[in-house]
């Protein structure tokens, strides 16, 4: 396997995971890449490693350029094992390398996982002279773990951004302009929604610290490297991290015997009837990681469940549990659902929507048995009343 040149004497040496379909519950339908970079200077430096299981791919790509024993530094941007998992393996092949990590969380995390290795901890503003290039370290805590940091090389104007700006997207292209931009942007949004939505404030701080940097290349830890659409991905991160919403709606539901489904259709049509684009998600057919990607930027959220054994349906509970963990902001929401007798699910859904941080803008819509045409018209009128 060969390294890919991204600049004179700088190479992508990562791994492509074509088959990965779940990243701790986030459904990754397009796989991922674990990006690592090799800088050939007076001091030879590897930025990040790859997930355990892909270490031979990393090693072969490095060996296509240099004997790994000559590597002087391994920068560990992030302790999560998709980036650090091959540090022990690479340490064996790079016995002279010092492992650069953040102070104190990176040092603590790597030591806990991999024991005592030749670590050097760095903090905000610390620099490392490689020869003709310098590396400058910028902590980005909670993007994605407390230890996370990014590395900037001013001479090359490259930001090695690790998780930030990444996408779980396996392709044979390495650069944004070699690929279909709408797909890349969608995967970047999905990545942000599922991995970083909870950390919007920290993302804002990180964007502020990176704001003064002159960046020509964002060398991400996953997916494609940004070189043509840097302005676009930075603007998207501004929007997503501020949770700036679009006048759009998302209707999410599960149904047992189609009554809640009929309500969901009436609600979706009510939004559309007022010119508000609405996406409609049956939880039997859609994964919650795709739905939260859409929720990230949609103003309205309607969630429906029939009552099953005095509860909401487990699929709806699972979606709301996942959404609550991501702490969405600024959404206007309401609950709906059908029932045969008790009807407890609708209030339970509403409580969860409140716990998610949503503003409840419509009294919960309860429907006994099967909605008639008149019931559906009444539901649509209620929904249009909030618009
Ligand atoms: Fe790509 Fe948080 O690891």
User: 260-291 b/e with 16+ CB inside 10 Å = b?
Assistant: bbbbbbbbbbbbeeeebebbbbebeebbbbbb
Please state, in angstroms and rounded to a whole number, the distance separating the CA atoms of residues 256 and 338. Answer: 9
β-strand partners of 185? none
Predicted pLDDT of residue 92: 98
Question: Which atom of ligand 1 lies at the shortest distance from residue 221's CA?
Answer: 1
Place of tokens 């492992």: 99
Residue pair 156/133 in contact by the 8 Å Cβ criterion: yes
Q: 163 CA distance to ligand 1 centroid (A)?
A: 5
pLDDT tens series, the chain, 387 aa: 999 999 999 999 999 999 999 999 999 999 999 999 999 999 999 999 999 999 999 999 999 999 999 999 999 999 999 999 999 999 999 999 999 999 999 999 999 999 999 999 999 999 999 999 999 999 999 999 999 999 999 999 999 999 999 999 999 999 999 999 999 999 999 999 999 999 999 999 999 999 889 999 999 999 999 999 999 999 999 999 999 999 999 999 999 999 999 999 999 999 999 999 999 999 999 999 999 999 999 999 999 999 999 999 999 999 999 999 999 999 999 999 999 999 999 999 999 999 999 999 999 999 999 999 999 999 999 999 999
Please state, in angstroms and rounded to a whole number, the distance separating the CA atoms of residues 139 and 103. Answer: 9
Question: Which atom of ligand 1 lies at the shortest distance from residue 145's CA?
Answer: 2
Q: 98 CA distance to ligand 1 centroid (A)?
A: 22
* Shortest-distance Cα residue to atom 1 of ligand 1: 163
**Cα-trace Rg, the chain:** 24
Q: Which residues are catalytic?
A: 24, 78, 80, 82, 144, 163, 191, 222
Question: Which atom of ligand 1 lies at the shortest distance from residue 148's CA?
Answer: 2
pLDDT tens digits for range 28-77 = 999 999 999 999 999 999 999 999 999 999 999 999 999 999 999 999 99
The runs of H, that is alpha helices, within 85-199 are 87-93, 105-114, 181-191
Q: 292 CA distance to ligand 1 centroid (A)?
A: 18
How is residue 28 written in tokens?
Answer: 């990754």
- Ligand 1 binding residues, C-beta < 6 A: 78, 80, 82-83, 144-145, 163, 221-222
- For the entire predicted model, the pTM comes to 0.97
Residue pair 165/237 in contact by the 8 Å Cβ criterion: yes
Q: 34 CA distance to ligand 1 centroid (A)?
A: 9
Predicted pLDDT of residue 130: 98
């Amino acid at each position: 396997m060969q390294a890919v040149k991204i600049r004179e004497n700088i190479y992508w040496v990562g791994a492509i995971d074509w088959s990965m379909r779940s990243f701790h519950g986030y459904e990754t339908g397009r796989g991922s890449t674990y990006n690592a970079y090799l800088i050939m200077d007076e001091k030879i430096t590897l930025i990040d490693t790859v997930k355990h299981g892909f270490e031979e791919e990393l090693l072969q790509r490095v060996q296509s350029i240099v004997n790994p024993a000559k590597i002087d530094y391994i920068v560990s941007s992030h302790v999560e094992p998709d980036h650090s998992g091959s540090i022990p393996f690479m340490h064996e092949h790079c016995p002279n390398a010092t492992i650069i990590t953040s102070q104190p969380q990176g040092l603590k995390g790597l030591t806990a996982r991999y024991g005592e290795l030749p670590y050097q901890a760095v903090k905000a503003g610390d620099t490392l002279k490689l020869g003709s290039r310098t590396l400058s370290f910028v902590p980005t805590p909670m993007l994605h773990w407390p230890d996370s940091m990014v590395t900037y090389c001013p001479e090359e104007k490259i930001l090695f951004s690790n998780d930030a700006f990444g996408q779980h997207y396996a392709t044979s292209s390495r650069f944004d302009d070699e690929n279909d931009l709408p797909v890349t942007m969608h995967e970047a949004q999905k990545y942000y929604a599922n991995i970083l939505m909870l950390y919007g404030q920290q993302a804002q701080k990180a964007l502020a610290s990176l704001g003064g940097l002159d960046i020509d290349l964002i060398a991400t830890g996953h997916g494609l490297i940004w070189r043509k659409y840097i302005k676009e991905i930075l603007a998207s991160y501004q929007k997503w991290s501020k949770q700036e919403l679009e006048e759009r709606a998302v209707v999410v539901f599960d149904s047992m015997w189609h009554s809640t489904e009929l309500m969901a259709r009436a609600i979706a049509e009510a939004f559309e009837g007022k010119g508000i684009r609405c996406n409609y998600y049956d939880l039997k057919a859609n994964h919650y990681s795709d739905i939260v990607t859409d929720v990230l930027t949609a103003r309205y959220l309607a969630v429906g469940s029939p009552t099953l054994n005095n509860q909401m349906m487990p699929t709806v509970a699972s979606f709301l549990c996942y959404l609550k963990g991501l702490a969405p902001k600024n959404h206007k929401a309401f609950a709906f659902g059908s029932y045969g007798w008790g009807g407890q699910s609708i209030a339970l859904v509403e409580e969860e929507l409140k716990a998610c941080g949503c503003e409840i803008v419509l009294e919960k819509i309860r429907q006994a048995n099967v909605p008639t045409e008149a019931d559906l018209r009444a539901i649509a009128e209620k929904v249009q009343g909030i618009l």
